[in-house]
Amino acid sequence: MNKILITIAFFLFSLNLLSQGLIGTPTSLVIVYNYPGNYFYVSLDGKDKRKTDQESVFIIDNKPVQVHALNKSKFLSDELKSQSQKDILLDYIKWESDYIQNTFNFNINSKIEPLVSKTGKEIIFWTYDMPTGEPVVKTDSTITTPTQKQMFILTMVKDYVFGINTPLFESDQFESNKQYLLNNIDHVVVADKEIKLEELFKKLSQ
């Protein structure tokens, strides 16, 4: 997969992927996070699931999907850490947007839509434009197509910004991509203790 998809999509999140485990079910890919004092997992809908050479990026039913988790301490100063969830997410987006624009020197045309998920999660739907004509591998190494936008759903899981991202290749995929992100952000499950992969696998298999 072309590096532009990974690098521009979430370069900084690649530094924060410790404590991750994977479980496959017939209809989903389950990604487990065991951070100190913050244990959760997310189930991503999809029957065909493949890993890539990027730890946080998967091909799910022929769609590139990236997941990411970042402690708010990475981008907030001490005096700002008591902000509301929405303000933290907005500060994260500004921080990430500034980094992308300064590093890659193009106007990303960032669009932000605060929402509430079906289960009551405070979330933000965030999109930004990719450089015109920048090719990205779509489904295999022999087919390339320009990526128009990057699309994200972001929420807070305790002290972590958690997000799911997929690129937009064709304009008519915008609503279906958005709905996929909205559906799956509600699949985040928080636990009160460290998640054991074998125990979770047995639970999900019942």
Give the pLDDT confidence score for residue 47 in this predicted structure. 95
Q: How far is Cα 140 from Cα 178, in angstroms, rounded to an integer? A: 23
Express each pLDDT in 126-143 by its tens digit: 999 988 655 555 555 555
Is the predicted pLDDT of residue 2 greater than 70, yes or no?
no
Residues in Cβ contact with 108 at an 8 Å cutoff, skipping those fewer than 6 apart: 97, 100, 101, 128, 129
Express each pLDDT in 143-196 by its tens digit: 566 789 999 999 999 999 999 999 999 999 999 999 999 999 999 999 999 999
Q: pTM score, two decimals?
A: 0.85
